[in-house]
Amino acid sequence: MLKRQRHETTLAGCLILAVLTVSAAARAAEVRGVVTVQQTGIFNDRVESIKSLPVSVALYPAEGQTLARPAAVEHVITVAGNRIAPLYLALPRGDRLRFENQDDVYHQLFTHSNKHPIQLRLEPNDLGRTAEIVLNEVVDLHWFCHIHAKSYARIDVLDTSLVRMVTPGDIFEFRDLPAGKWRLRVAAPGAETRIVEAQALTAPPPLQIRLDVKGFNQSGRGAMPVQAVAIEQLFPTQPGF
């Protein structure tokens, strides 16, 4: 009788260990890859200018996987020399933006948005040099200045906590994922946003994703749209989820 109880206890322990091992393996899956950028159209001679172009990679569940909502993060946006930096940023919904004016003149920033346009006035003195906003709406915000034509930035607010900012050729990784199907959203200034299907696996081969950038010039401390580019190239179409 005692021998039988010991056998059953050992069997139960093995079953528990097997379940824990399978569960750990299921969450050890990952998605990784590399994004390459190629400039197309009449501006394809600016190869050097896109090597440091910021690229966002965001991961979305495709099979109902649950994502934890992390604490909100504050991102600093600076205005210096009439330029907005960073040029491009993607972030989860609910994060905060802190704008800082580093110039001795004021800036009147505004967004190009069909939903709820935003206006921000940044003063050159300490009292109104900074401004903060919380971004709770999923939207792509294109920022300009009413006063300075060279001021431009783009901020994508996304409904996922899995967001990475990389430069072309960098490896992006999303680890400790439930195995299964996921969707990648890949975007960059002046490029059409791509949606790529991905499979979370243990030690998967890296994905190779290419973005075609049309008519975007990056130079100096900031960057701005090329003046001759059509408006549909500055605000490329976005496939839905």
Structural domains present in the chain? 28-67+160-241 (2.60.40.1120), 68-159 (2.60.40.420)
**pLDDT value for 114:** 66
Nearby residues of 131 by Cβ (< 8 Å), 6 or more positions away:
98, 99, 120, 121, 122
Token readout for 121 is 């006035």
Nearby residues of 7 by Cβ (< 8 Å), 6 or more positions away:
none
**pLDDT value for 41:** 64
Cis ω on the peptide bond leading into residue 86 (within 30° of 0)?
A: yes
Give the residue from 97, 71, 73 showing the smallest Cα distance to 86.
Answer: 97
**pLDDT value for 21:** 40
CB 127 within 8 A of CB 105: no
**pLDDT value for 28:** 83
Rg, the chain, Cα only: 23
Handedness of CA 75, 192, 62, 25 (dihedral sign): negative
The letter for the amino acid at 25 is A
Angle at 76 between CA 74 and CA 81, to 5 degrees: 170
pTM higher than 0.85, yes or no? no
Give the residue from 46, 85, 241 showing the smallest Cα distance to 160.
Answer: 241
**pLDDT value for 3:** 52
Distance, CA of 72 to CA of 225 (rounded, Å):
30
Distance, CA of 32 to CA of 162 (rounded, Å):
12
**pLDDT value for 47:** 53
CB 86 within 8 A of CB 77: yes
**pLDDT value for 25:** 47
Which residues in the chain come in under a pLDDT of 50? 2, 7, 11-26, 219-233, 237
